[in-house]
């Protein structure tokens, strides 16, 4: 007992407290206690497992994410390879620039414009090279341009590894040699702060430029061809060497490809009528994207008479002594088939053999020759000269043309073949369709004595023979003789009569180069072999297509030239002067 004190009442007492150690009484367990124990244990193991997963198993991954919160990777796009002409003159350039991806669309930005944007807070610009085409419209179709890869292209095997937003070749050499011209992108690493501002550069993986390519194109000749076509609305020119190397290729109308590649602030200063991309895309009538030299198909008119002559001569159906009297008009039932000379001038050419037929482009002779040879043999010869297939030039979009036969007409049109069809076929009209490239190819074949080479634009590619022995020497000589006389007085290609140039480097051999009838000792006469063509299309009010195809010098060819001008008039009057201007450029060097 405790003695009562002054502060306690006498009713308060104390007793000795017994010591007791705590322990869990299993007799006191309940569902609630068991659940709490299970929950606590489970939470412990879950937290432990999560911590182990984050720090041990995925530690490197989360470290990478942490680093990326302060490290920014900027793509440095590789410059494309340069395209050169045959003399190593650059036809493309790469200028410093940037790009930006806006709503899935790649926007090209010039360096000056980009610096201004960066000064105003732009953060997502990527270093790039802007593709410049210094010759603008003159090389547009053969070089092409670059643009953003399409969803369809991304699915193609040729574009494995490409990403949305990448820039790729869209036509011409840029497209065909994309895999060579395209480089390997690099990148730059920057440290950034919490607001995304660049703090410092951490490193760089340099891009690898694309491969340069050297072409068979001749820069000076290409520009001269384009200048010769300056007044042409729609047309094409192909200039090649006798082994298939393309020296120049022009299609009109053209456009400035820099509008696609030099940024939004680029101003077109070329002679093109198109000042922006929208105008080019919207012109469905003139189709400026169409490379008429390889993709346009046309009736070749009288240029095809060379194939008809080859069909008759090579199979010995005719020789130089076989003649036809020019009556001015052939009557077949109620249909009449006239000669151009009779229709236009009321004249006749008398007795005509194969040489004179080519010289005078006499329709009556070739009506009767096609009838004598037969449509099947004419078509067979046309196919031997490559008219029924693509020739394989290293550009996308080449067309094959159409070589008609009676079976083709029955299947395609549902009608039988008539004699009138044969007559039209014999002068390159009717159902026959060819590309300017094909006309150039068969002209090359005659220049080579019956050998065809695959047309190509890559200079270091091996020449490839695609056909040979199409003509024997005698047949070649007769066709060449007719073509030479066509370019001389009395022939039809009047702009090329007595063609001469001021160039003493051309050595007189009295066969290919002769002394010019001029008071100047520097003038040389170049012997040319040519064939004009006037292909009627549409109705009576529609002007015909104007053609000329030639090779020169006649016995030792250096170049083969083919000119087409759509809906422009007679071949000699319209295409002839253009060809003369091209020859002036080439032989004046």
CB-CB neighbours of 269 under 10 Å: 10
Per-residue pLDDT band at 73 (split at 50, 70, 90): confident
pLDDT at 45 (0 to 100): 77
Cα–Cα dist 459/86, whole Å = 7
Q: Report the pLDDT averaged over residues 411-428.
A: 97
Q: What is the DSSP letter of 157?
A: G
Distance between alpha carbon 337 and the CA centroid of its chain, in Å? Answer: 40
For residue 132, list its beta bridge partners. Answer: 93
Q: What is the CATH number of domain 293-587?
A: 3.40.710.10
> In angstroms, rounded to a whole number, what is the distance separating the alpha carbons of residues 328 and 340?
8
Give the list of residues 6+ apart from residue 71 with CB closer than 8 angstroms, or none.
Answer: 189, 190, 191, 192, 202
Task: Please check the confidence at residue 235 and state whether its pLDDT lies above 90.
Answer: yes
Residue 8 pLDDT? 43
Average pLDDT over residues 252-273: 88
Q: How does the average pLDDT of the chain come out, rounded?
A: 91
Residue 7's pLDDT band (boundaries 50, 70, 90)? very low
Is the distance from CB of 405 to CB of 376 less than 8 angstroms?
A: yes
Separation of alpha carbons 348 and 341, rounded Å? 7
β-pair type (545-552, 235-240):
unpaired
- Residue 201 banded pLDDT, cuts 50, 70, 90: confident
Give CA–CA dist 480/118, Å, rounded. Answer: 66
Hey, is 335 helix, strand or coil? strand
The mean pLDDT value for 328-339 works out to 95
φ/ψ of 56, rounded to 5, equals: -100, -60
Q: At 491, is the secondary structure helix, strand, or coil?
A: coil
Say which range, 46-55, 114-123, 250-259, 408-417, has the weakest mean pLDDT: 46-55
- Separation CA 442–CA 450 (nearest Å): 9
Q: Does pLDDT of 54 surpass 50?
A: yes
Q: Helices (H), strands (E): how many in the chain? A: 21, 24
Return the higher-pLDDT residue of 126 and 491.
Answer: 491
Return residue ranges of the chain for CATH 3.40.710.10: 293-587
445-471: average pLDDT = 96
- Confidence bin at 78 (pLDDT 50/70/90): very high
What are 184's two structure tokens?
A: 């390997």
Identify the weakest region by mean pLDDT among 55-59, 140-144, 283-287.
Answer: 55-59
Model confidence band, residue 1 (pLDDT cutoffs 50, 70, 90): very low
DSSP 201: E
Q: What is this structure's pTM?
A: 0.86
Could you give the count of Cα atoms lying within 13 Å of 17 in the half-sphere of its Cβ? Answer: 4
What is the per-residue pLDDT for 12? 43
Which structure tokens are listed for 75? 């793509």
- Can you list the alpha helix ranges (DSSP code H) found in 148-257? 151-154, 172-176, 178-181, 219-228
Q: For residue 145, give both structure tokens.
A: 């341009």
Per-residue model confidence as pLDDT tens digits over 29-43 = 677 777 777 777 877
Q: How confident is the model at residue 330 (pLDDT cuts 50, 70, 90)?
A: very high
Q: CB–CB of 308/426 below 8 Å? A: yes
Structure confidence at residue 443 (pLDDT): 98
User: Helix or strand or coil: residue 94?
Assistant: strand
Which of 184-198, 275-289, 464-478 has the least mean pLDDT? 184-198
Token pair recorded at residue 79 = 């410059």
Max CA pair span of the chain: 165
* Closest listed residue to residue 531, CA positions, set 420, 444, 421, 432: 444
Residue of 309, 455, 479, 315 whose CA lies nearest to 389: 455
Q: CA-CA distance, 496 to 508, in Å (whole number)?
A: 19
**pLDDT value at 200 more than 80:** no
Cα–Cα dist 96/584, whole Å? 39
The span from the CA of 275 to the CA of 246, in Å, is 29
Neighbours of 573 (CB within 10 A): 14
In the chain, CATH 3.90.1310.10 sits at 71-215
Mean pLDDT of 475-498: 98
User: What is the average per-residue pLDDT within 492-508?
Assistant: 96
Q: What is the CATH number that goes with domain 71-215?
A: 3.90.1310.10
- CB within 8 A of 345, min separation 6: which ones? none
Q: Which residues of 311-333 are buried (b: 16+ CB within 10 A; e: fewer)?
A: bbbbeeebeeebbbebebebeee
**Chain CA centroid to CA 496, Å:** 32
Question: Could you tell me the pLDDT band of residue 203, with boundaries at 50, 70 and 90?
Answer: confident
Span 255-266, mean pLDDT? 93
> What's phi and psi for 84, nearest 5 deg?
-110, 155
pLDDT band, very low/low/confident/very high, at 68 (cuts 50, 70, 90): low
List CB contacts of 434: < 8 A, sequence separation 6 or more. 297, 298, 299, 300, 304, 387, 401
Burial 116-144, CB ≥16 within 10 A → b, else e? ebeeeeeeebbbbbbbbbebbbbbbbbbb
Report the first-to-last Cα separation within the chain, whole angstroms: 139
pLDDT confidence of residue 59: 67
Alpha helices in 457-554 (DSSP H): 473-486
Mean pLDDT of 196-210: 81
């Amino acid at each position: 007992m405790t003695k009562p004190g002054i502060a306690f009442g006498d009713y308060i007492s104390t007793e000795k407290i017994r010591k007791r150690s705590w322990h869990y009484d299993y007799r006191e367990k309940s569902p609630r206690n068991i659940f709490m124990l299970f929950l606590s244990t489970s939470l412990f193991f879950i937290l432990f497992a999560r911590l182990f997963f984050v720090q041990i198993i995925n530690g490197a991954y989360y470290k990478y994410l942490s680093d990326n919160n302060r490290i920014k990777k900027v793509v440095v796009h590789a410059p494309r390879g340069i395209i050169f002409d045959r003399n190593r003159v650059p036809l493309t350039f790469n200028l410093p620039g940037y790009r930006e991806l806006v709503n899935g669309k790649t926007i090209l930005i010039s360096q000056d414009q980009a610096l201004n944007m960066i000064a105003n807070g732009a953060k997502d610009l990527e270093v790039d090279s802007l593709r410049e085409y210094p010759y603008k419209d003159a090389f547009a179709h053969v070089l092409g341009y670059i643009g953003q890869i399409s969803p369809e292209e991304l699915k193609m095997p040729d574009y494995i590894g490409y990403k949305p937003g990448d820039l790729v070749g869209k036509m011409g050499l840029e497209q065909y040699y994309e895999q060579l011209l395209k480089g390997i992108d690099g990148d730059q690493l920057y440290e950034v702060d919490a607001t995304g501002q660049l703090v410092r550069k951490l490193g760089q993986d340099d891009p690898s430029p694309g491969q340069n390519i050297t072409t068979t194109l001749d820069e000076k000749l290409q520009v001269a061809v384009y200048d010769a076509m300056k007044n042409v609305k729609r047309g094409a020119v192909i200039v090649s060497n006798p082994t298939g190397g393309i020296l120049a290729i022009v299609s009109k109308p053209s456009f400035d490809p820099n509008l696609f590649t030099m940024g939004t602030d680029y101003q077109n200063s070329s002679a093109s009528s198109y000042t922006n991309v929208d105008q080019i895309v919207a012109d469905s009538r003139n189709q400026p994207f169409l490379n008429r030299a390889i993709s346009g198909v046309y009736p070749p008119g009288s240029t095809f008479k060379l194939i008809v002559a080859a069909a008759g001569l090579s199979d010995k159906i005719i020789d130089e002594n076989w003649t036809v009297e020019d009556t001015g008009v052939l009557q077949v039932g109620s249909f009449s088939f006239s000669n151009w000379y009779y229709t236009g001038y009321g004249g006749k050419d008398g007795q005509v053999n194969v040489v004179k037929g080519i010289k005078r482009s006499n329709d009556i002779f070739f009506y009767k020759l096609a009838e004598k040879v037969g449509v099947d043999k004419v078509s067979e010869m046309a196919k031997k000269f490559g008219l029924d297939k693509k020739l394989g030039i290293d550009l996308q979009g080449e067309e094959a043309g159409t070589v008609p036969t009676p079976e083709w007409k029955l299947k395609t049109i549902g009608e039988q073949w008539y004699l009138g069809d044969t007559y039209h076929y014999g002068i390159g009209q009717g159902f026959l369709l060819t590309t300017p490239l094909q006309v150039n190819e068969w002209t090359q074949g005659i220049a080579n004595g019956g050998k065809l080479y695959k047309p190509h634009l890559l200079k270091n590619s091996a020449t490839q023979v695609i056909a040979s022995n199409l003509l024997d020497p005698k047949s070649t000589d007769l066709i060449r003789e007719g073509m030479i006389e066509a370019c001389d007085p009395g022939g039809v290609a009047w702009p090329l009569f007595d063609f001469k140039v001021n160039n003493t480097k051309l050595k007189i051999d009295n066969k290919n180069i002769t002394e010019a009838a001029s008071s100047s000792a520097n003038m040389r006469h170049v012997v040319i072999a040519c064939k004009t063509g006037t292909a009627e299309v549409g109705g009576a009010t529609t002007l015909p297509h104007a053609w000329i195809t030639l090779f020169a010098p006649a016995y030792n060819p250096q170049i083969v030239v083919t000119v087409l001008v759509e809906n422009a008039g007679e071949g000699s009057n319209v295409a002839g002067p253009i060809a003369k201007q091209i020859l002036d450029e080439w032989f004046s060097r």
